[in-house]
Structure 1
Amino acid sequence: RLTITAGKLSAGDFFVLNAYAFDPRGQFMNWNVYGSGSYDWVMDKVGWSWGGVVDFNQRDWAFRAGYFLQGGVSNSNYFDMHIPERGQYLAELELRYAAFGQGGKLRLLGWFNRANMGSYSDALALPLSSANYPDITLTREVRTNYGFVVNLEQAITDQIGLFSRASWSPGKVEIMGWTECDSSFSLGTQIKGASWGRPDDRIGVGGVIEGLSEEARAYFAAGGLGVLIGDGRLNYRPEQIVEAYYAYKLDKWSTLTADYQYIVNPAYNADRGPVSIFAGRWHSEF
């Protein structure tokens, strides 16, 4: 089938999907466990953009491509209307297969941004007397960013599944919508509860290791600020996160989830943490 969708959309409803780690309403909550690390997910401040997706499906594979408007600047609620020379272009190949009698999917994503973005290196090259040095917003011009994601899901049994993602981008410009991350690797599992008499319950355990490019490290070490990180100093180490949750099905409408995250080197800083985060979540739909 060929499906064409256009309007105000979330790019994540079409790209980098994974059956075992994608929906924060009932699965993992950490952005780069359910997301894709260095993929700069195009969005406004609540996750939406205007765009379109063409999705072509065959039995054993699918190919989809999309175009979305970029924010006018990083983390903004207004969009750059220079169409089509600016925006985000994406293409993803999905391969479906069976291994050991169980289904699996391998998704390969490439993305390309053209937008008004600042440069880490240019910000460091500003005069030390510049206000709020190094202020990346003073270096904004139309630039290019790009990256790749390898995304795997594999059923082990009808009750157990594994997932893994690896991502990379060059890390030379500021992030537009997601979070500061230039490389990542995640791995985890989801287990359904039939074996203990709770077939609609789920347990998930996963982890992610993520890093910054050399340019980004130097910028944040000099006191630069990003979308989500920056505190005036940086004793750089890769950020490491482990997350576990239990989703308890209350009835056919509602699920109650307990979630725990353990974060080593939060915001890539060995002088911070480790940090434990406990969360509870009640999701109902009817």
Structure 2
Amino acid sequence: MSEAWYERDWVLGGGKFRLRFGKIDVTTEVDQNEYANDENGQFMSPVFVNNPAVEWASYSFGVVASYEAERWSFTLGYEDADSGWEDLFDYPFLVGQLAVSSNFLGHSGNYRFYVWYQGEKHLKWDDLEDYFAQKIEPENEDPAWGFGVSFDQEVAEGIGLFFRYGYRGEDLVGYANYDESGAFDPEATDFSYGFEHAFTGGVSLSGRFWGRAEDELGIGLAMFLLADDYEDYWEKEGVYAGREGVRIDTDTEYHIEVFYRYQVNEHLALTPDFQYTWNPAGLDDHGFWVFSL
């Protein structure tokens, strides 16, 4: 069961106050997007479903409190970051979002701004540099944080644009790993968040333009800008010059995804989906493609 929660709301002032708690998915409450937020009917890649710069908690105990007025809302969310259902408050994922809706030239839009904090412990680049320079054993000690935006705007009937931006604060490698004896193992260390900035955006077109109003065409583009320390590590620059292993060139990571949602009838839709990634993990490479249905 992915979610199981209780919710209640109260009329307050010109809007309502809403409270939800239980087993939740906090991404249903923040970072929403009209055109890129549902892997079942829109983009499939996690790059476009939610902000890739955020270390989202996943289907665990949480609480959401939100005040919703006609044109704006403010949301605070807590979720257990490690999703373990033990020690629920040791590693919190916290997020606060301000959302504003618009009616630009008669077309609806939503503009969301949020900050987040992830309490699990990470490895800092400074500590990794000390390991290579002085053989000081590093430890996972620092939380992660950042901020992001999620915009969606209809620009004409049947045409919508979306944009997300995410920034990761602090100077974090990822998660340090250790071998069976407890010694730091750099080769097994998780470098999942080697980028500081993530940009995603795209367009949604209704099939009404070619006589199929229930269909949808989506095109998404993404770009990840790498942290300088991440580039230095793989290219064996500076303190990492003596690192064991092959020198690897780095480059900006790009993604493209195209889907077409074909509404066969009232109860069935088929979505062919094509993805291509250049320089996966920010390592210089022609990349790979994925086709799915």
TM-score, L = length of structure 2: 0.78
The partner residue of 1:198 within 212, 216, 223 is 212
Question: Are residue 123 (structure 1) and residue 128 (structure 2) matched?
Answer: yes
Distance in 2, Cα, partners of 1:233 & 1:9: 43
Percentage of matched positions with identical amino acids: 23
Question: Are residue 257 (structure 1) and residue 271 (structure 2) matched?
Answer: yes
Which blocks of at least 5 consecutive residues in structure 2 are unaligned?
1-15, 176-189, 237-244
Distance in 2, Cα, partners of 1:50 & 1:179: 24
Contact 1:93 1:109 in 2 (8 A): yes
Specify whether residues 105 and 17 from structure 1 end up closer, same or farther in structure 2 by C-alpha distance, changes over 3 A only: same
Specify whether residues 80 and 23 from structure 1 end up closer, same or farther in structure 2 by C-alpha distance, changes over 3 A only: same
Specify whether residues 91 and 175 from structure 1 end up closer, same or farther in structure 2 by C-alpha distance, changes over 3 A only: farther
Q: Which residue of 1 aligns with 2:289?
A: 276
1:220 CA displacement: 5.0
Equivalent AA in structure 2 for residue 19 of structure 1: E
Q: Which residue of 2 aligns with 1:246?
A: 260
Q: Which residue of 2 aligns with 1:22?
A: 37
Determine which structure has more spread, i.e. the larger CA radius of gyration: 2
Q: Which residue of 2 aligns with 1:60?
A: 71
Contact 2:199 2:223 in 1 (8 A): yes
- The aligned length equals 255
1:232 CA displacement: 6.3
Deviations 1:1-60 (A, max 9, x none): 2111111111211110101011111111222222212111122xxxx1211111110001
Equivalent AA in structure 2 for residue 50 of structure 1: F
1:153 CA displacement: 0.4
The partner residue of 2:231 within 217, 232, 241 is 217
1:263 CA displacement: 1.6
Q: Which residue of 2 aligns with 1:284?
A: none
Equivalent AA in structure 1 for residue 110 of structure 2: K
Which blocks of at least 5 consecutive residues in structure 1 are unaligned?
72-76, 223-230, 281-286
Cα-Cα RMSD: 2.7
Contact 1:172 1:216 in 2 (8 A): no
1:86 CA displacement: 3.6
Equivalent AA in structure 2 for residue 140 of structure 1: N
Q: Which residue of 2 aligns with 1:225?
A: none
| Structure ranking higher on relative contact order (CA contacts 8 Å, 6+ apart) | 1
Contact 2:234 2:250 in 1 (8 A): no
Question: Secondary structure of 1:118's partner?
Answer: strand
Deviations 1:211-258 (A, max 9, x none): 222233344556xxxxxxxx9654111101111110111222222111
The partner residue of 2:94 within 82, 89, 92 is 89
